[in-house]
Structure 1
């Protein structure tokens, strides 16, 4: 009995057979595509835009927009493009201009200067630091009175009216007599009766300060000597 031996099939023939089988299967399952029909009531003709101007859109009552009159600025245009600045007209000659920072309608109140009453006599108090004795003496304006080693000369003495706060001042010159007999200026300025230590005379032995002013001249005039 002879054994069956399969015949040898070349590879090229096997490839051709497989290609034929694939072609037959593709021809059996061919799918044909066709365009779908449009829905009922819809035209298949493409829309053509009109060549003329479009009709205005319908507006509901109350939705009409108010347009500004011709020539008026647009909203916000005033802030973006401010108009020209108004010209500044200087006041006429002889017209008082209002002070800076106030309106023309505001009333500016200027406080008058304090009234000073001149007096012909100044009254001083002198202290001897060695003995501790305090002496009061009067000096006429422009005259000189010596207290110890000091010479006191008032140049002015002012007071205030009774309706104003009390403020008695005197412009005074004080000289010191040295051992050689020379006069040395040690003080020149204003003395205040309410503040004796504000502007005081600096001397190791004697102190002098203003106490008040008198409207009458002193009873007895003494040009020199300790009071």
Structure 2
């Protein structure tokens, strides 16, 4: 990795990640106030209200499965052809790349390893 603007390059330990077997996601229905945690294995999908959530994969820092997780998630809403969200969500910074939906919030909590 290149150093930018005088910042040191990241070490290989900072870049190393392991692939989890799945992820735990949390969904919030902002109208009813209900919160639901769902556990998905990589490649699986689940329905949460009017949303269908698919997990492509979950990664975490090498040797630290309880550390910061990031998951590639695709979220579709009933009746819409295009996904309302597709990309990486980060557990430590859920607002960094979040689902922008009027009714629902969804974010990643952690990866699973078994």
TM-score > 0.5 by shorter chain: yes
Q: CA RMSD in A?
A: 2.0
Task: Measure the CA separation in 2 of the matches of 1:111 and 1:159.
Answer: 16
The question of 1:115 aligning with 2:13 is answered no
Q: Which has the higher strand share?
A: 2
Match of 2:89 in 1: 191
Within the candidate set 39, 42, 54, 1:138 is matched to: 39
Q: Which has the higher helix share?
A: 1
Within the candidate set 47, 51, 56, 1:150 is matched to: 51
Match of 2:27 in 1: 126
Q: Which runs of 5+ in 2 are unaligned?
A: 1-9
Three-state SS of the structure 1 residue aligned to 2:84 is strand
Aligned pairs for 1:85-100 (under 5 A) are none
| Residues 140-185 of structure 1: CA deviation (Å, up to 9, x unaligned) | 111111101111111110011357xx3311111111112xxx5431
> Structure 2 vs 1, CA of residues 146 and 183 (structure 1 numbering), >3 Å: closer, same or farther?
farther
Q: Which has the higher contact order (CA 8 A, sep 6+)?
A: 2
Task: Measure the CA separation in 1 of the matches of 2:43 and 2:81.
Answer: 17
Q: Which runs of 5+ in 1 are unaligned?
A: 1-109, 217-227
Deviation beyond 6 Å, 4+ runs, structure 1: none
How many residue pairs are counted as aligned between the two chains?
Answer: 103
Task: Measure the CA separation in 2 of the matches of 1:112 and 1:139.
Answer: 29
Task: Measure the CA separation in 2 of the matches of 1:205 and 1:183.
Answer: 18
Task: Measure the CA separation in 2 of the matches of 1:134 and 1:161.
Answer: 30
Task: Measure the CA separation in 2 of the matches of 1:139 and 1:161.
Answer: 21
Within the candidate set 176, 189, 201, 2:99 is matched to: 201
CA contact (8 A) 1:177 1:184 kept: no
Task: Measure the CA separation in 2 of the matches of 1:133 and 1:195.
Answer: 22
